[in-house]
Amino acid sequence: MEVNIANNVAVNGDRSVRVGVYVCHCGMNIAQTVDCRKVAETAADIDGVIVSKDIGYACSEPGQKEIKDDIIEHELDRIVLASCSPRLHEPTFRQLMQSAGLNPFLMEMANLREQCSWVHMKEPEAATQKAEDLVRMSVARVRQLYPLYAETLPLTKRALVIGGGVAGIQTSLDLADNGFDVVLVEKKPSIGGTMAQLDKTFPTMDCSI
């Protein structure tokens, strides 16, 4: 693993930012196509990037610990994760930010797995170039991010179940037995659905109702 520690502190308005960039190998998922070390090296030269590393599995326990330790040691205030789709691990890394004492919205993900290594498997150079671009764009974005705070709202402790077949019946009973009020809506005159029409059901061979 290559560690690049630079001292290029960028200025964003009156705030200076200290960005950490982590390029994840995702085992071989990313690393087999994208040159992760090169991506990390290039990112180290970007304004504001204090730490830039390639890392085996960013989402793993040791991976997260390493990032957390860096945040504390290098006083990082923004993180770029060049790994998988934010649709998968954004919640994971937002939690990591929080546990390191940072606002969870000061983190940005560059999607190297779904958008580079998996879709440009035969073009490693172009995939690496694209990865570098995506990281650069993420650093540009993360520099402009500011903390956001979640609001807490009241919630109605009541569930609507649409459909009264096996699925709806089981869901309603589970919810109701746990103390939640349920409104079960069924189109037909009786609940039971398709299941009620079956004679015997496998593997127990007993009646369906």
Partner 1 sequence: MTDVGRHPRIKLLTMSEVVDIKGYVGNFDVKILKRARYVDEKECIACGECAKVCPVVRPDEFNMGLSSRRAIYSPFPQAVPSAYILNVQECLGHNPAVCARCIEACEKGCINFHMSDEEIVESIGTIVVATGLEPYDPTELDEYGYTRFENIVTSLEFERLVNAGGPAKGELVRLTDRKRPKSIGFIQCVGSRSSRKGHEYCSNICCMNTIKSTLVLKEQYPDIEIKVFYIDIRAFGKGFEDLYTRSRRMGVQYIRGLPGTVEESKDGSLRLAVENTASGKLEFHDLDMVVLALGVTPAKGTQKLQEKLGLQLTPDGFFLEAHPKLQPVDAATRGVFYAGCAEAPKDIKETVTQASAASARAIRLMHRGKIKTEPITSEVVEEQCKACGKCAEVCPYNAITVNVKKKTPAVVNSAACAGCGTCAAECAFGAIVMNHYTDEQISDQIETLLEERPDEKILTFACNWCSYAGADYAGVARLQYPPNSRIIRTMCSGRVDEKFIWDGFQKGAPVILVSGCHIGDCHYIDANHWTEKRVRKVHKKMEKLGIRPERLQLEWISAAEGIRFAEVMHKMEELRKRVSPEEIEETIDILKKQKKKTRT
**Window 7 to 26, contacts with partner 1 (CB under 8 A):** none
Q: Residue 84 CB, nearest distance to partner 1 (Å)?
A: 9
Residue 148 found at the interface with partner 1 (CB under 8 A)? yes
Binding residue for partner 1, selected from 20, 48, 63, 193, defined by CB under 8 A: 193
Angle at CA 187, nearest 5°, toward 183 and 188? 115
Q: In the complex, what is the shortest distance from the CB of residue 99 to partner 1, in angstroms, rounded to a whole number? A: 17
Could you tell me the two tokens for 187? 């189109």
Instruction: Decide: is 130 part of the binding site for partner 1 (CB under 8 A).
Output: yes
Nearer to partner 1, 75 or 202 (CB): 202
Under DSSP, the state recorded for 197 is G
Contact call for residue 28 and partner 1 (CB under 8 A): no
β-strand pairing of 49-55 with 19-24:
parallel
Q: Are 55 and 66 in contact (CB under 8 A)?
A: yes
Q: Is 194 in the site for partner 1 (CB under 8 A)?
A: yes
Encode 97-136: b = buried (16+ Cβ within 10 Å), e = exposed. beebebbbebbbbbbbbbbbbbebeeeeeebbbbbbebbb
Q: Does residue 179 touch partner 1 according to CB under 8 A?
A: yes
The answer to whether residue 172 forms part of the interface with partner 1 (CB under 8 A) is yes
* Contacts to partner 1 from residues 98-117, by CB under 8 A: 105, 111, 113-116
Nearer to partner 1, 2 or 98 (CB): 98
Contact with partner 1 (CB under 8 A) among 32, 87, 98, 99: 87
Bridge-based pairing of strands 206-207 and 200-201 is antiparallel
Count of residues near partner 1 by CB under 8 A: 88
In the complex, minimum distance from the CB of residue 69 to partner 1, in angstroms, rounded to a whole number = 27
Cis link prior to 124 (omega < 30° from 0)?
no
Beta carbons of 96 and 58 less than 8 angstroms apart: no
